[in-house]
Structure 1
């Protein structure tokens, strides 16, 4: 009898868990519509996830991981990894030129593209610290679920900084499975020294926009957003993968090379949807960022203003690898750094 009650009402330290539904919206981007050469319309992308928590699975995962890494973990983060997507469910988009409804996919993900005119964009756009964005809402019919999302404008001209997150601006430790687990599920995320300062400086100096690319799953977005806001990084779109339990396991997902395709496609999306915008690419040496960025540069040399790669101090073998990866790229187009203070204030100074 008591075992049945335990599985129906799960309690920890007197707190009663109840599974709940919610939506995560990850900030996305908007581009000019170049499908019609005479059009001044905008194409807006949205991205999100409609999910339901599984409190029992969350506690099981929490206790299992704590035995492995010998450290207390954040149950709120774990809940998002044990949640399941609400597949083929109706959700409605509000707050723009018209209301529209769509369905989630087989993983509960929300992925849509919609179009508004330039006049409508001027009506909806908000500007904050040189950053133009549109706010919209997604709701679930007949349920008290409503979430606000952001779409950041990326026009044809200007400068965009495309930055990796893990071990570029946030200490993750992707070279160690244990460090990755600890830094993902335990405590506050920690910033790489000086990175937010130089990003803020570049934003003001170049009137730049920012886009954040990461191999991390979108289940981490609420906590990444808290980190970005707390450390005063410039706001911008975020481009993440999605973890499901069909993946082998969290560590293999996090450290796998299949993010190369998603990162490459995202950068190419920005380049292909803007005519004259210049892009600055920032990443780290610990995964495949240099290979991705070198490949992008060789394809679009006139669109890449600079490549910056973070490495460890006295990493001779790492530097040799970079020199090999970037052997066909002019030396003035790439450089390394260890912290934000190593990065130049004037990027285009030869």
Structure 2
């Protein structure tokens, strides 16, 4: 560990004497969602949400973190992933959507995050709309004021009718190992992300069979979005909106971040958002037993029993204690409305058959 501390002191000396690297600034936009405006009976507008993060990389801090992690876990870590975790969010910066009929601007919060909603007319939606196998969406361009930084974002339209699959990511479709600190760090910061066997196949099947849309709610921080998107694309999972939190190294332990009460609240709020902003759309909730998904989904079902068609929870087949826990959590939910699985082939192709 001595060499790490020497390295940290060396970096501190360089920084305090003004010898800084050219830190990169960039903008990440998470795929978002739009709902019909129900505030007025005659309204044809849509309510659109915009979410992202404007940051500046700190290469030296990233190198320190890489060395510490490699000494701790004795594995080679992906420096590109570490860079986003050691980057500094740019506070109170003006960012604008500039490909709509009028410029829509907002300011980043104290973490550099972009979180705003606005109305857009049906006519403008019709001009921008794109439809493909992943559903109906619009593309937008967001830029940083007085900077040559522009990024293309996606907004998926979630209409009042239809079927949406709301899916967790970690240990539901992607192998993470959140019950082990070492495995979580390794599966987050090293190597290529691995898919849970068969999950992409069944998601693609459901998407085609039900003309369904997908939304991904995850405890993973939004700094991982570029790498999770690469995983989604590579494994051919259906695309959809992403709903994530933001992690700061100084706020909490990285492992407990996945299990915190804040995660329970944010995931519940996100699902509530889908249900409260659609009139007749039906939902299928997919998660795992390794975090708090069963508790969250059971609570949601009790609030909206006529809107939640199915709940699927991933667990290991020989986990009898876990099965007993699920039976207690879902005690007030009809047996035909929830089921467990370990891999994709355990899931039914027709989810509406009892």
Q: Same fold (TM over 0.5)?
A: yes
Partner of residue 164, structure 2:
160
1:277 aligns with 2:281: yes
- CA contact 2:311–2:337 (8 Å) conserved in 1: yes
Q: Bigger CA drift: 284-293 or 122-131? A: 122-131
Runs of 4+ aligned structure 1 residues displaced above 3 Å come to 3-6
1:176 aligns with 2:180: yes
Partner of residue 217, structure 1:
221
Distance 1:130 1:252 in 2: 33
- Cα displacement (A) at 1:95: 1.6
Distance 1:126 1:181 in 2: 38
Partner of residue 340, structure 1:
344
Unaligned runs of 5+ in 2: 1-9
- Cα displacement (A) at 1:18: 3.2
- Cα displacement (A) at 1:4: 7.9
Query: Once the two structures are superposed, what CA deviation does each residue of 1:286-306 show, in whole Å capped at 9, x if it has no partner?
Result: 010000000000000000000
Q: Bigger CA drift: 32-41 or 202-211? A: 32-41
1:77 aligns with 2:81: yes
- Cα displacement (A) at 1:5: 11
SS at match of 1:30: strand
1:312 to 309, 312, 316: 316
- Write the mapping of 1:243-282 to structure 2, written as runs, cut at 5 A: 243-282=247-286
Distance 2:84 2:247 in 1: 10
- Write the mapping of 1:138-153 to structure 2, written as runs, cut at 5 A: 138-153=142-157
SS at match of 1:106: coil
1:32 aligns with 2:73: no
1:91 aligns with 2:98: no
Distance 1:241 1:97 in 2: 30
SS at match of 2:339: strand
- Cα displacement (A) at 1:141: 2.1
Unaligned runs of 5+ in 1: 10-15
CA 183–175 in structure 1, closer or farther in 2 if over 3 Å, else same: same
1:133 aligns with 2:140: no
1:288 to 275, 281, 292: 292
Distance 2:100 2:165 in 1: 27
- Cα displacement (A) at 1:257: 3.1
TM score, norm. by length of structure 2: 0.94
- CA contact 2:163–2:212 (8 Å) conserved in 1: yes
- Cα displacement (A) at 1:17: 5.6
- CA contact 2:34–2:155 (8 Å) conserved in 1: yes
